[in-house]
Chain A
Amino acid sequence: MEAWVFSNIVVAILITAAVGLTGVVLRSRMWSNAFLSLWRRRRVAIIAIGFYVLVALLDSVSWVGGEQFGEDAVAKYQAQSILDRAFAGIRERSYSAPLASVEFYGGAPLVHPGRHLLGTDLLGRDVLHLALKGARVALLIGGLTSLIAIPLALLFGVSAGYFGGRIDDFVFFIMSTLASMPGLLLLITLIMVMGKSTFSVCIALAVTGWVGFCRVSRGETIKLRELEYISAARALGVGEMRIIFRHILPNLAHLVIITFVLMFSGLVLSEAILSWLGIGVDGSWGQMIDQARDELSRDPIVWWNISAAGSALFGLILAVNFVGDALRDVMDPRTLREGE
Chain B
Amino acid sequence: MSRLLSVEGLTTRFPLAGVHVPIVDESTFAIDRGEVLALVGESGCGKSMTALSIMRLVPKPGRIHSGRVELLGRDLLGLSVTEMRAVRGGRISMIFQEPMTSLNPVMRCGDQVVEAIRLHDEVSRKDALARCRELFVQVGIPDPDARLRAYPHQLSGGLKQRVMIAMALSTRPELLIADEPTTALDVTIQAQILRQLLELRREIGMSILLITHDLGIVNELADRVAVMYAGRIIEQGERTDVLGRALHPYTQGLLRSMPALATPGRRLPEIPGVVPSPAEWPMGCRFATRCQLAEDRCRREVPGATARSDNHVASCHAVEEGRAQAPAGGEPEGAAR
Contacts and interface: CB of A to CB of B under 8 A. Distances in A.
Contact of A236 (B60, B93, B105): B93
A236 B116 contact: yes
B102 interface: yes
Contact of A251 (B106, B119, B167): B106
Given A236-B167, A237-B88, A237-B89, A227 B119 contact: no
Given A229-B104, A231-B57, A236 B89 contact: yes
A234 B57 contact: yes
A232 B164 contact: yes
Interface residues of A, number: 23
Interface in A304-334: 333
Nearest to A243: B104
Interface string A219-262: 00000000111011111111100000011001101000000000
Contact of A237 (B95, B104, B119, B153): B119
Contacts of B95: 232
B151 A340 contact: yes
Given A165-B60, A228-B96, A234 B105 contact: no
Nearest to A235: B94
Nearest to B57: A234
B214 interface: no
Contacts of A229: 101-105
A243 B183 CA distance: 27
Contacts of B120: 237
Contacts of B211: none
B87 interface: yes
A250 B88 CA distance: 24
Given A234-B88, A251-B104, A337 B153 contact: yes
Main SS at interface, chain B? mixed
Contact of A164 (B60, B85, B94, B107): B60
B16 interface: no
Contacts of B311: none
B46 interface: no
A228 B97 contact: yes
Given A164-B60, A229-B101, A250-B106, A237 B87 contact: yes
B98 interface: yes
Nearest to B91: A237
A18 to B, nearest CB: 23
B107 A250 contact: yes
Interface in B75-116: 85-90, 93-98, 101-107, 115-116
Contacts of A333: 105
Contact of B88 (A227, A236, A246, A247): A236
Contacts of B119: 236-238
A253 B96 CA distance: 26
Contacts of B227: none
B115 A238 contact: yes
B288 interface: no
B100 to A, nearest CB: 8
The interface centre, meaning the residue of B60, B97, B153 with most chain A CB atoms within 10 A of its CB, is B153
18 contacts: A164-B60, A228-B101, A229-B101, A229-B104, A231-B57, A231-B96, A232-B103, A235-B89, A236-B89, A236-B167, A236-B168, A237-B87, A237-B90, A238-B89, A239-B85, A250-B107, A337-B105, A337-B151
Interface of A: 164-165, 227-229, 231-239, 246-247, 250-251, 253, 333, 337-338, 340
The 3 lowest CB-CB distance pairs between A and B, nearest first, are: A236-B89, A237-B89, A237-B88
